[in-house]
Amino acid sequence: MRLALFEPDIPQNAGTIMRMAACMGVAVDIIEPCGFTLSDRRFRRAGMDYLDHLDLAVHPSYEAFASAPARTGSRTILLTTRADTAHHEITYQPGDTLMVGRESAGVPDHVHEAADLCVKIPMQSIPSLRSLNVAMAASMVLGEALRQTGRFPTLTSAHKIDDPTVAHAHTATGVSP
């Protein structure tokens, strides 16, 4: 499973998506040009030290991304408001690449047409509610894809509620688990 960011505009969104990907063990492709440099302090702040644990590939163009060796046999699933299929109505595969477009413009028609599948997140039908934040949309769709493919990282005892050290921390703060 991979996440592809097509010409991202906002460094905080890209950093947030990449932090999530690092935590979920999902590789990320950035398709340039970006609306910021990868050394941008806002980008680094959003990604924090998690970026050191990320499998990241940067492509100078969409064409370079599309022809990259990691793309062989991989489906591109585009998250777009122009889709007719809900994100939870398809069957995800472990080799899929989930692509999000630019916050300001989505993706151009040739990228849209090249996608193997296009999905969108169902929302209320209120005209002023146009779309979700790109990082939120990526996390929702990635969560469904990981759930379907059984690719969520496993919980360790340090993260389980029944861990005595976790229970003690909750008790000490007056918050029950």
Residue 133's pLDDT band, with cuts at 50, 70 and 90, is very high
Domain ranges of the chain: 2-173
Looking at residue 163, its pLDDT comes to 45
Query: Is the per-residue pLDDT at 9 higher than 50?
Result: yes
- Class for the domain spanning 2-173: alpha beta
> Percent of the chain, pLDDT > 70?
85
Mean pLDDT over 103-115 rounds to 96
Looking at residue 46, its pLDDT comes to 66
Residue 63's pLDDT band, with cuts at 50, 70 and 90, is very high
Looking at residue 79, its pLDDT comes to 98
Looking at residue 144, its pLDDT comes to 98
Looking at residue 172, its pLDDT comes to 40
How far, CA to CA in Å, does 151 sit from each of 84, 137, 174?
A: 26, 18, 34
